[in-house]
Amino acid sequence: MGTRSRLQRAGALLRVRSPLGRECLAELLAVFVLMVITLAGAAQKVTSSNTKGDTVTACLAGALAVTVAIYAGGGVSGAHLNPAFSFALCLLGGFPWWKLPLFALLQTLAAFLASAAVFAVYYEAILHYGNGTLATSGPRETASIFATYPADYLSLSGGFLDQVLATALLLLGIQAIRDGRNKGAPAELEPLAVGLLVLALEVSLGANCGCPMNPARDLGPRLFTFVAGWGREVFRWVR
């Protein structure tokens, strides 16, 4: 009884009483879960030279990560996971504008922290695969584990169109799934439906840019690779 009482007191002290604080922590956790699974799937694919994973498994990891992340934080923050989705909700009147910068910052921070976690787990594998170097291009590049990069043939306008279309389809699909007037999925299966939507987009619109569709998903890991040793090349459009 004494141990249980102490645990209860500790739980009461650690409980976040502010609704906004709970939303922030839930969104941080959800994006962290999303990014750890997504980036780890890419790391397993790249560092094993496609022997322990391939494009399909990486896409599955990213899609299932979305599902798990929504289950992890959806009940508290709504699990936006994506500044583009938060922005769309603001436009539709379903989310206050003043929360948009806060959520975007939290989503980017969570992606940065998740990148650090995956780097720590796969540190030895990354160095072994890259022959001790952290490269952004070439046959032994590892920067693409974390951020997305355009294909060699892609122009700036082509990349812009690719991401506008992919993100628009993502937002449209999510709104269709959540629309009670539509033939949407049951509430408890909405996360799975969104994960399948992401999988469909990844396997159909992923060749040009890697299908990030999420500014935080790309910027947070890109910032991490910059400070972790890959250098300024991570911000350059290399043709």
Largest CA distance in the chain: 67
Q: What is the pLDDT of residues 44-55, one digit of tens each?
A: 999 999 999 899
Q: Does 172 score more than 90 pLDDT?
A: yes
Mean pLDDT, rounded, of the chain: 90
What pLDDT was estimated at residue 156? Answer: 87
Residue pair 126/119 in contact by the 8 Å Cβ criterion: yes
**Can you tell me which residue has the tokens 């399948």?**
196
Position 70, amino acid: I
Residue type for position 125: A
**Domain spans in the chain, listed from the N-terminal domain onward:** 19-235
What's the whole-model pTM score? Answer: 0.90
- The 8-class DSSP code of residue 174 comes to H
Query: Is 19-235 CATH 1.20.1080.10?
Result: yes
pLDDT at 238 over 70: no
Say if residue 11's pLDDT is above 90: no
pLDDT in tens, 61-76: 999 999 999 999 988 9
pLDDT digits (tens, 9 = 90+) for 143-168: 999 998 888 899 889 999 999 999 99
Q: Helix (H) and strand (E) counts for the chain?
A: 9, 0
What pLDDT does residue 184 have? 67
pLDDT reported for residue 178: 84
